[in-house]
Amino acid sequence: LSTIVSDDEIVKNEIGGVYWPVWNVNGIGNMVPGKGYQIKMNNSATLFYPSNTANVAKANFSKPLLQEYNSFLYSGENMTLGIPLSAWEIRPENGDEIGVFNQNEELIGASVFDGQNMAIAIWGDDFSTKEISENISENQEFTIKIWNKINTTENRININSWLEGNNLYSKDAISIVSKLSFENKTTLLQNTPNPFSDFTEIPFYISFILLPNFIFDKDTTHEKYYCCYCSRCCCYQRFCFLRWWR
């Protein structure tokens, strides 16, 4: 595509992989003879494809495998969601997964964060199968979640603003996030030991921005002491223990 790189906006292959020069995203590697590609052009141009004998440099391409968000239907119809690196209020860890969901909380697209700009194919309803409604229909809303690989927890992502488009699905559309943030979410886990005589520990996850590193206090009403200590388990959550003494 080097002969038309200044004239094309985005290129997609049959599985939603994207070549997006302006965002330095290459999710398709080199073009492959016999494969079909969809190209959105900014200007008319002629593509000169090299002959089989030409010495062409291979694109540096590797796609991390999805572990959690890996079960969705490739329907043949999709739009592209762009998440620039600058959009993150707090960046995910490499290997975290970003998933897109329909109004029924069904997964309709996903990608692995690798520290770069992201392009995610959101798979829509296949118009050739009118008797079956798949994934998401035109003008329906989608939501975004993140799965953290370290603590295997899921958190919702709030879109604060858009550079282009919105959170409504439309075939072949492009939506680009401007700013996003993590939903504040606290998860309380089972205390141990239970029952207890002297003390117990209550583990929980809490938003990284909500809690200081160390808390020690005294309940003067009941003459009971408690302290809370936390470690940063990922970029946007802390894993904490609340220790309570009788």
- The letter for the amino acid at 167 is N
Q: The tokens of 18 are what?
A: 């994207």
Going 91 to 95 to 101 to 106, the CA torsion angle's sign is negative
Question: pLDDT tens across 171-219, in order?
Answer: 999 999 999 988 766 666 677 778 777 767 766 666 654 444 444 444 4
User: Digits of tens for pLDDT over the chain (246 positions)?
Assistant: 777 788 788 999 999 999 999 999 999 988 888 888 998 888 888 887 777 665 656 666 677 899 999 999 999 899 999 999 999 987 888 999 999 999 999 999 999 999 999 999 999 998 777 777 889 999 999 999 999 887 788 889 999 999 999 999 999 999 999 999 887 666 666 777 787 777 677 666 666 544 444 444 444 444 444 455 555 555 555 556 555 555
Question: pLDDT tens across 123-139, in order?
Answer: 999 877 777 788 999 99
Contacts of 246 (CB under 8 A, 6+ apart): 196, 197, 198, 199, 224
